[in-house]
């Protein structure tokens, strides 16, 4: 680029998109929640008493294995399980199986000069941004805790410093299952250089995400933008133009947030303008400090962990008891069945400080939620199952 074409390239403290105001600092904690494509959830209903009566009509194609909602009326733990002897007042169970929703991360990674190109500016030390940020991303992509998730990786600007959206609409690392060493190999082959065509990159990521949604309609897809500054290049040569470009990006992500949320990880002193992109994308912005490389790596890895935790949740609808009976929350139990093993009861945990489960709303619940630690175990175990059981007696934690 022409060093004299933008105020940030001079010695004056005028507008510098590389060092522009950034996201307000947010406390980062690693919420490490994983997912497994093969993990199944079996939803069991055990009425207080009465005959064995399935909630699902096997003749309905939507209730057949592998179709509709994914529920299987003939799944493990089906009708006839449990009870007090099978008489007229016996408790009976019915089961429906559902696959946990796979999650796809469309990662758009900033490799502009400010990430570490000292030939562009001697102050752009790669040891402060490019190396520690790359280390965090490589750790995330190869982390066993990321098992069950899928990810793709794209870079901006591309080698030609292109402004064309088409050059960002296909990932350099196509979507694939995690963990994977491929991402590390590709990251190692790149070096920071060029401008920051943020809007072209984000628009390309949106196109990638929409293609995944069309090809994988039963999966959840999100965009993750990792960047150290506001837009620069592709017509952006002033502070006002940068602000206008950010607003265009805000409008772009807001238009798709219902089906394609956008997360933003800002690297550097502050990137306040980019916080608006995360908010418009229906998520929260993350801030990663620079100056201490090990801290930068830890904070960015924690941010990726929080994103992983927020998108890979274990929430399951509570089936209605048969015959229109009232739901008794005190008699709801949750069991986990590892592959080939008998199910074991999971303790209720109101605050989810550790393993366990809770209701999404303690007063008027509609879902059962596995706590992060338990969700991680279930999603990371292919073939693992969960039974949500409406029992005949109250749970041990219920005080009468």
Residue 205: count other Cβ atoms within 10 Å of its Cβ: 26
| Residue 6: pLDDT over 80 | no
135-139, 158-162, 226-230, 314-318: range with lowest mean pLDDT: 314-318
pLDDT tens track for 20-74: 444 333 333 333 333 333 344 444 444 444 333 333 333 333 333 333 322 232 3
**Adjacency order of strands within the sheet including 332-337:** 94-99, 40-45, 385-390, 332-337, 344-346
| Residue 17: pLDDT over 90 | no
Tokens standing for 352?
A: 């989810």
Please state, for a pLDDT cut of 70, what percent of the chain lies above it.
Answer: 72
Domain 19-28+102-311 belongs in CATH node 1.20.1740.10 = no
For the chain, the structural domain boundaries read: 19-28+102-311, 40-99+315-390
Q: Give residue 211's pLDDT band: very low, low, confident or very high (50, 70, 90).
A: very high
The DSSP result for 89-148, as a single string, is: T----EEEEEEPPPEEEEEEEE--GGGT-TTT-TT--TTTTHHHHHHHHHHHHH-GGGTT
pTM here? Answer: 0.69
Quick one: pLDDT at residue 280?
98
Q: How far apart are CA 169 and CA 287, in angstroms?
A: 26
**Averaged pLDDT score across all residues of the chain:** 78
Quick one: pLDDT at residue 91?
53
Quick one: pLDDT at residue 174?
99
pLDDT tens track for 77-111: 443 344 444 444 445 554 444 456 789 999 999 99
Residue that wins the pLDDT comparison between 269 and 142: 142
Quick one: pLDDT at residue 309?
85
Residue carrying structure tokens 């929409």:
210
Quick one: pLDDT at residue 11?
37
Q: Give residue 314's pLDDT band: very low, low, confident or very high (50, 70, 90).
A: confident
Q: Give CA 135 to chain center in angstroms.
A: 20
Q: Give residue 379's pLDDT band: very low, low, confident or very high (50, 70, 90).
A: confident
Across the range 316-328, mean pLDDT stands at: 72
Across the range 304-332, mean pLDDT stands at: 80
| Residue 303: pLDDT over 60 | yes
Quick one: pLDDT at residue 368?
86
Peptide bond into 179 cis (omega under 30): yes
Q: How far apart are CA 258 and CA 40, in angstroms?
A: 26
Tokens standing for 45?
A: 């209903």
| Residue 169: pLDDT over 70 | yes
Quick one: pLDDT at residue 210?
99
**Cβ proximity of 46 and 392 under 8 Å:** yes
Quick one: pLDDT at residue 271?
73
Quick one: pLDDT at residue 171?
99
Tokens standing for 217?
A: 């309609």
Quick one: pLDDT at residue 335?
86
Q: How far apart are CA 268 and CA 187, in angstroms?
A: 20
Q: How far is CA 16 from CA 6, 7, 98, 202, in A?
A: 8, 6, 51, 21
**Adjacency order of strands within the sheet including 149-156:** 173-177, 149-156, 103-110, 220-227, 262-267, 285-288
- Cβ contacts of 179 within 8 Å, gap of 6 or more: 141, 142, 143, 144, 146, 147
Report CA torsion sign: 310, 311, 313, 316.
positive
| Residue 75: pLDDT over 80 | no
The DSSP result for 203-270, as a single string, is: HHHHHHHHHHHHH-TTSEEEEEEEESS--BBTTB-SHHHHHHHHHHHHHHHHTTTTTS-EEEEEESS-
Residue that wins the pLDDT comparison between 119 and 388: 119
Tokens standing for 344?
A: 């074991």
Quick one: pLDDT at residue 322?
61
Please state, for a pLDDT cut of 90, what percent of the chain lies above it.
Answer: 50
Q: φ, ψ for residue 235 (rounded to 5)?
A: 95, -10
Q: φ, ψ for residue 119 (rounded to 5)?
A: -70, -25
């Amino acid at each position: 680029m022409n060093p004299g074409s933008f105020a940030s390239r001079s010695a004056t403290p005028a507008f510098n998109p590389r060092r522009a105001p950034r996201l307000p600092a947010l406390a980062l904690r690693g919420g490490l929640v994983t997912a497994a494509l093969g993990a199944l959830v079996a939803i069991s209903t055990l009425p207080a008493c009465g005959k064995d009566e399935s909630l699902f009509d096997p003749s309905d194609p939507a209730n057949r294995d592998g179709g509709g909602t994914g529920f299987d009326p003939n799944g493990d733990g089906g009708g006839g399980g449990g009870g007090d002897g099978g008489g007229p007042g016996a408790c009976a169970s019915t089961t429906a199986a559902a696959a946990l929703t796979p999650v796809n991360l469309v990662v758009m990674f900033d490799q502009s000069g400010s990430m570490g190109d000292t030939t562009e500016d001697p102050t752009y030390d790669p040891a402060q941004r490019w190396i520690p940020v790359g280390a965090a991303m490589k750790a995330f992509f190869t982390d066993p805790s990321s098992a069950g998730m899928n990810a793709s990786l794209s870079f901006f600007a591309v080698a030609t410093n292109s402004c064309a959206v088409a050059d960002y609409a296909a990932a350099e690392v196509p979507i694939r299952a995690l963990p994977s060493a491929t991402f590390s190999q590709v990251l190692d082959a790149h070096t920071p250089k060029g401008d920051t065509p943020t809007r072209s990159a984000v628009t390309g990521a949106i196109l990638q995400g929409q293609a995944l949604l069309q090809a994988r309609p039963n999966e959840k897809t999100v965009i993750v933008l990792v960047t150290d500054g506001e837009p620069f290049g592709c017509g952006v040569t002033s502070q006002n133009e940068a602000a206008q470009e950010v607003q265009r990006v805000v409008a772009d992500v807001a238009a798709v947030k219902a089906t394609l949320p956008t997360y933003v990880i800002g690297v550097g002193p502050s990137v306040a303008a980019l916080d608006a992109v995360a908010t418009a994308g229906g998520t929260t912005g993350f801030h990663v400090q620079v100056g201490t490389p090990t801290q930068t790596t830890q904070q960015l890895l924690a941010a990726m962990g929080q994103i992983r935790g927020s998108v890979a949740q274990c929430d399951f609808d509570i089936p209605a008891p048969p015959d229109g009976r009232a739901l008794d929350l005190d008699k709801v139990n949750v069991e986990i069945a590892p592959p080939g093993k008998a199910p074991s009861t999971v303790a209720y945990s109101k605050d989810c400080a550790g393993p366990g489960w809770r209701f999404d709303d303690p007063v008027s619940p509609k879902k059962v939620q596995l706590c992060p630690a338990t969700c991680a175990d279930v999603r990371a175990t292919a073939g693992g199952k969960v039974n949500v059981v409406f029992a005949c007696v109250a749970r041990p934690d219920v005080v009468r």
